[in-house]
Each structure stands twice: as structure tokens, then as C-alpha cells.
Chains A and B, each alone.
Chain A
């Protein structure tokens, strides 16, 4: 943590090497968060790059934010998502990309299972509230702890736990109903 603070301090003074190390540390999580939200791998790559470029431009003002660096990055990513969704919604709805890769590409059986789960989750997520969806994205795709999600979303930990619980509950109901209907 101390190292990260030092890297951020150096990056804010224009140390490109320090910012590159921050990029290496956070790229995967930001990419996952973005990819799950927009459902398009290629665009997720571009978007993640844009998030880091935006972050580099503004890292000089990061100290004033009062949130962990990762939460600050997720906030930038979230804002980019909002812009993206707004633009895309003018064109068409944004379906989650079926070609999203899975963690273990060496295991075809597991890959098929995860792909299916992801589609189920994607479909079920559309039934959630915005706040519930954000908690799920940050908590699972962004790999954030409850405390981090709370800081990123500017809510209390208790509120995030409640949102997490209600989101999982709603997802389960939707998934279960879908299974009974034979949709899933």
C-alpha cells in the first residue's frame, strides 16, 4: 500500500515509469470491470486504455480525492462507461458479447460452463437496479472488497452489504425462474 502511494506520488510528478507500474497492477481488474459492463472484448481493451490515459492526465489532482487509487480508477472507468452506454443507447441496446473469453481456456468443459453462467448472469443482471449492478460489477469483476466498493460508490459498508445481498438474492430468483421456464 505504501509502495502504491509512493508510485502515485511519483506518477503525479510526471514519473512515467511509476505510472506504468500502476498500469500493470490495475489493468486486469479495470479491464474485467469494463468488459463485463460493455460486453465487448475489443472495445473493453480500448476503453481500458482510455481509462489509464485519462488517469495519467489527472493523476496530479488525485491527492485531493480522498479515496484509494483503485477506487479513483474505477470511478474514471465508471464515468467512461456512462458516456459509452449513453452513446450506444442512441444507436442500439448493448448486449453482452457472447464471445467474451473465460478464465481457463485450456479446459473446454469449464469454459462452456462459465460461458453459460456468464450469459445467465448477464441476462439476470438486467433485472437489477443500477446500484445493485454496480455492486456486482465492482465486487466480482473489479475484485473489490466491501470497503473498496463503499469508497468507490460513496456509500457506507452496511449499505453495500445490503445491496450485495439483495442483488445476489434477485439474481438467484431470476436465474431460478429462467431455469424453470427453460430459458436458461
Chain B
């Protein structure tokens, strides 16, 4: 039954198409399909009536008016919109993709993660982001600046964990281990085996570091007071990122030794000196304030002994490695000064 219906639908459409195109008359069509003629005829007549009923034409004036309006609008619009990047998508899909894209491009998750604390869902994102930033640092100075920022963040985190009341020793130990590792990397005590610097040598000449020196922070005692510490770090890190982008411009010192090339090289070297100086000030400040903040926590009777051991390791590390990091920077500055005087 279904098959015969389908066959009839095909015959009906074939006849209708021929009638509409004027290729056949109704009689010719019915003669072609005598078995279906009785059923076909009334339907074809109805279809032709429908076709005649809707055969309306716009008036020439309406069409001309429309043409004129369209010309005006096209002139206003200019060029049509370009095709969307991913082709046609349902409206809801476009909306979701747009939100995701904007969020991703603006670093929404990363920004949200930056203020997360140990135990928060976005905390691993924060740590992963830091690792990536250290990896992609475009110079040694930029890398050290990022590591210093990370260490400062660890202090804020440990303050946060301790200020929560019921101190989670494991979290304190985890933060302490990360702090020690990052301070050691910064001071050159341990090379970051898995965190190579992407460009050195000539790249160093265009290296940059945070334009803004973050000031030593007061020990925050509560969760809310921990935020300003992070705010300072974020600002510094943002500057570091910007500086890294600037550092990706073609190295000017590699150009031919003419006057303008020399000037550019001198400017780059001068900028780097400033950056090193700023980082040195920051490291000196951290070397004083970090142990102070950690020592305050040692006085807190609510902090378990196991956690205090971790805090003491952090203090010892800060006292040893920050001065070392400062010495390294001074050595580099002296070395740079000698090279400059030779030139």
C-alpha cells in the first residue's frame, strides 16, 4: 500500500510538473497513466486551481519602489557582513561559543584562577598557568620576575590557609614545597629542568620584566585581607606579560652595526638595567617581608607543629636564597656594565 502510494505521488508530481511547465495538457497526462487517471484528474484540477489562485504579480510600481529602497539601504549598509568563522550555527550555539570564546580570550578562567586559594577548584589552573608563564618567559630576567611573583603568591596562600582557623597541615606543606622550589629557581640554586627559557642570548637584550615594582606586603590576617597581596602580584604579572610581548619584537642588536642600531642596542640594554634594578628592589623587599610574615604565623598557637616545620623551612629558604638572588643580579649588572664600557 505504501509502495503504491509512493508510486502515485511520483506520477502525480510528474504530471503536475509537466502541466505547470506547459509541457503537457491534462488530457495528455491522463492518457499516459490510464490506470491512475480517475484518481489523478480531480487532484490535478485542484492543484491547477491552487496554482492559478496564487499566481499574483507585484505591480511594477511596487517593484520599482522596492528597488529604490534597496539601493538606499545598500548604500547605508556598505559591504555585507563577512561569513562567520565557523559557518552557520544555531543561534544558541553561536551564543554559547561567543561566551566561551570571549571568556577564553580574555583569560577569564585564568583571571578567576589567579585569585583562587589552595583547596579551591581553580587552584590547579592557577598553578598550571604559573608554570606555563615561567616556561614561556622570553628572558632570564622575565623568568626570575615571574618566579618572584609566584613566591609572593605562596606567602599569601599560606597566610590564607593559616587564617582559616582549622589549619590544614598538608596544604601548608604543599604550599611551602612550591615556595621553596620557586625561590630556589629564582636564585639559581636549582635549574628548572622542566622549565627551559625560550630565548636567551640576543633575546636577553630585549628582555623585559615588570615595569611596576610591587611593594612589600603587610601580613594579611584574614581571607579578605589576602586579596590586596594577590592584586599586587597580578598587576606585576600582567606587566611581565606585556613586557614579554614587547620582548618578542625583532632583536634590534642583531641589526647591522650602524648608528641607529647602536642606539637601539643601548636603549635595550638601558631598559634591561632598569628592569634588573626593579627586580632587585623587589627581591630585597621579599627577603625581609616574607620571613617576617612567616614568623608571625609561628607565634600562632593554633598552627600545628607539623605545619610550623614547613613554615620554618620557608623562612630558612627565604633568608638564604633571596640574598643569593640579589647577588646574582648585581653580578649580572656589573658584567653588563663592563661590556658597555668596552663598547
Interface residues of A in 133-178 (CB under 8 A from B): 136-137, 140-141, 145-146, 158, 161-162, 164-165, 168-169, 171-172, 175
A133 to chain B, nearest CB (A): 11
Answer yes or no: B38 CB below 8 A from chain A CBs: no
Q: A20-B67, A171-B46 are in contact. Are A103 and B57 (CB under 8 A)?
A: yes
Which residue of chain B lies nearest to A32 when distances are taken between CB atoms in the complex? B56
The reply to whether B54 and A36 contact each other, CB–CB distance below 8 Å, is: yes
Alpha-carbon distance A170/B259, docked complex (angstroms): 90
- Cβ of B70 under 8 Å from chain A: yes
Interface residue B82 (Cβ < 8 Å from any Cβ of A)? yes
Q: Does A76 contact B (CB under 8 A)?
A: no
Instruction: List the A residue with the shortest CB-CB distance to B68.
Output: A49
Asked if residues A52 and B84 are in contact (CB atoms below 8 Å), the reply is no
Closest to A33 in B: B54
Checking B5, B9, B52, B56 against A35 with a beta-carbon cut-off of 8 angstroms, the contacting residue is B56
Kindly list chain A residues whose C-beta atoms are within 8 Å of the C-beta of B296. Answer: none
Closest chain-B Cβ to A77's Cβ sits at a distance in Å of 14
B30-81 contacts to A (CB < 8 Å): 42-43, 46-47, 49-59, 62-63, 65-67, 69-71, 73-75, 77-81
Does B193 belong to the interface (CB within 8 Å)? no
Which residues of chain B from 80 to 103 have a CB within 8 Å of any chain A CB?
Answer: 80-84, 87-88
- In whole angstroms, what is the CA distance A20 to B67 when docked? 8
Return the contact of A172 from the options B6, B10, B42, B88 (Cβ within 8 A).
B42
B271-314 Cβ-contact flags toward A at 8 Å (1 or 0): 00000000000000000000000000000000000000000000
Chain A: minimal CB distance from B26 (Å): 14
Contact, CB under 8 Å: A57 / B13 = no
| Total residues of chain B contacting the partner, CB 8 A | 45
- In the complex, the answer to whether B70 meets A117 with C-beta atoms within 8 Å is no
Does B320 belong to the interface (CB within 8 Å)?
no
Within 8 A of A (CB), among B1-31: 5-6, 8-10, 12-13, 16-17
Q: Is the CB of B54 within 8 A of A48?
A: no
A142 CB, nearest partner CB in chain B, Å = 9
Are B70 and A49 in touch, CB under 8 angstroms?
Answer: yes
Cα(A175)–Cα(B43), bound, Å: 12
> What DSSP secondary structure best describes chain B's contact surface?
helix
Rounded to whole angstroms, the CA-CA distance of A76 and B63 in the bound complex is: 19
Please, what's the 1-or-0 string for A39-65, where 1 marks a CB less than 8 Å from any CB in chain B? 001001100110011001111110111
B74 in contact with A61 (CB, 8 Å): no
Across-interface contacts of A64 in B (CB, < 8 A): 83-84, 87-88
Contact in complex: A121, B49 (CB < 8 Å) = yes
Contact B54 A56 (CB under 8 A): no
Contact check, B77 vs A57: say whether CB atoms are below 8 A apart. yes
For chain A residues 74-131, which have a beta carbon within 8 Å of chain B?
100-103, 113-114, 117-118, 120-122
**Complex Cα spacing A12 to B80, Å:** 6
Give the nearest-CB partner of B69 in chain A: A49
Given contacts A64-B83, A168-B46, A168-B50, are A103 and B55 in contact (CB under 8 A)?
yes
Tell me the bound Cα distance from A41 to B87 in angstroms: 35
Contact partners of A19 in chain B: CB under 8 A: 70, 74
Q: Point out the residues of chain B lying under 8 angstroms from A32, CB to CB.
A: 54-58
Q: Is the CB of B58 within 8 A of A60?
A: no
Residues of A within 8 A of B49 (CB): 117, 120-121, 175
A sample of 14 cross-chain residue pairs with beta-carbon separation below 8 angstroms, ordered by A number, consists of A12-B80, A16-B74, A31-B62, A48-B66, A53-B70, A56-B74, A61-B81, A61-B82, A61-B84, A117-B50, A117-B52, A120-B53, A140-B54, A164-B9
Closest 4 CB pairs of A and B: A14-B79, A118-B53, A64-B87, A60-B80
